Chains A and B, each alone.
Chain A
């Protein structure tokens, strides 16, 4: 509780530090507008036109419906990989044999291109939610798994010994000695897993479903509707930036205050 209050207290200062980021985004939009003036509206619509399209789209209930579908798939897929990745990673980390055996499997999972997973999933599950969720799961699970595994493998033996010398009870050992260390590995893994999930959901939808943001993107492509396509991209990037910079980053800063 105290912890969340502290995050809220530091939040305005954190937001205030965002002016630099806003300046660089504006610079990027200026560059975009320059591209529009060079190549014309069909290839690259102007930022103004894109944001106008976006404004219209956000007032359309059907678009919100698509966004919700995509959000649902991404959260289920990411949620599953978060739970399984963290738990299995922790278990694998505590046993030397398990971590040795899981390494090649992880390499296969990471090395296999997501597009190949989509093809397999389409054959296995058909066109629908399961295909998308499965693809997200196999793509972001290994990232989180490895984070949890590394966190557990790199626990400091010296600190364990110190904890033993003070006869720390098991719950204190876990909360005060193991958890902060593991968390410093697993939390960044969650963040990259989430980024991966959000990218994969669009790709899987574009190829394997008839609804969701990815499918809308496919429709915009077939109609050569570049402003809508760009507006969709803005929605995707905007939501990712919101989650990462407004929700996750402040938490991360607070949790990792002790790091140099």
Chain B
């Protein structure tokens, strides 16, 4: 079975210790999120898992057939229009140009882009549209593992919910596993099967939370209640330093 297994992972930048003794496993079809404060090494961890950074100590074993990445700021090529941007990953896999364009158009419509947007350059797109394109680009290659680097953080709540719903649908249809990092607890609770709490200086995992209810059944009430519950947790309070800023 395909899985991503991280064992005793340590990482340094120069003399600064970024990550210490990280271990976890992501199985096929599961959604795992890593939450923690900004600057806690989340992005480094994701880059190590996806192979964008070289592993120094410990091991990352990735047996998934294919993977793709969606970034926080979209990272579209400014000189390519919407369709060509989406088709990029397909062309890199050696897909024929005409087929790649066709697939790109199909998935673009699925993600709520309209035909009149197809030839637009990224400079003419709103932040939300850019993020739709970025998602479409990552999912059109049908990865079996998807890495997400805080992809919803710049979106308004309506758009956030819409894209999250799309994501849940597609990951269910195609049986995609997702590893994603965020600092938004509600987002993590809505999407994840398992949440890892990463505490900073150096980044290490302090706690795991699991949610068994399937994602489609998690309504707002569930998310709010679980969020309220989790925000009472001693480790969460400590990790996000919620107590130090208490109003008197």
Contact = CB atoms under 8 A, between A and B. Distances in A.
Nearest to B72: A158
Given A165-B69, A176-B80, A158 B75 contact: yes
A207 interface: no
B78 A172 contact: no
Interface stretch (A35-43, A54-62, A87-95, A252-260): A252-260
Contacts of A176: 77, 80, 88
A88 B135 CA distance: 39
A168 B79 contact: no
A166 B88 contact: yes
Interface string B134-146: 0001000100000
B214 to A, nearest CB: 29
B92 A164 contact: no
Contact of B73 (A158, A168, A172, A177): A158
Interface in A231-260: 257-260
16 contacts: A158-B71, A161-B52, A162-B69, A162-B71, A165-B50, A167-B92, A167-B93, A168-B88, A177-B77, A180-B77, A257-B121, A258-B78, A258-B79, A258-B80, A258-B123, A260-B123
Report the contact-size class of chain B (Cβ under 8 Å from the partner).
20 to 34
Contact of A164 (B52, B79, B141): B52
A224 interface: no
B68 interface: yes
B91 interface: yes
Contacts of A164: 52
Interface string B61-84: 000000011010101011110000
A116 to B, nearest CB: 41
A172 B91 contact: yes
A186 B79 CA distance: 16
Given A165-B68, A166-B92, A180 B52 contact: no
B79 A180 contact: yes
Interface of A: 158-159, 161-162, 164-169, 172, 176-177, 180-181, 257-260
Interface in B78-122: 78-80, 88-89, 91-93, 121-122
Contacts of A167: 92-93
B53 to A, nearest CB: 10
Contacts of A158: 71, 73, 75
Contacts of B71: 158, 162
A169 B88 CA distance: 11
Most buried by B among A162, A167, A176, A181: A162
Nearest to B141: A166
A9 to B, nearest CB: 15
Given A172-B91, A176-B88, A258-B121, A165 B52 contact: yes
B45 to A, nearest CB: 15
Given A166-B68, A166-B69, A259 B77 contact: no
Interface in B108-166: 121-123, 137, 141, 147
Contacts of A181: 79
B152 to A, nearest CB: 18
Nearest to B81: A258
Nearest to A158: B75
Given A176-B80, A177-B77, A258-B123, A168 B92 contact: yes
A260 B75 CA distance: 17
Contacts of A172: 91-92
A260 B122 CA distance: 10
B92 A169 contact: yes
Nearest to B134: A162
Contacts of B141: 166
A168 B85 CA distance: 13
Contacts of A159: 75, 77
A260 B124 CA distance: 8
> Which of B69, B78, B79, B80 has the most chain A CB atoms inside 10 A of its CB?
B79
B219 to A, nearest CB: 33
A166 B89 contact: yes
Contacts of A165: 50, 52, 68-69, 147
Contacts of B77: 159, 176-177, 180
A258 B122 CA distance: 8
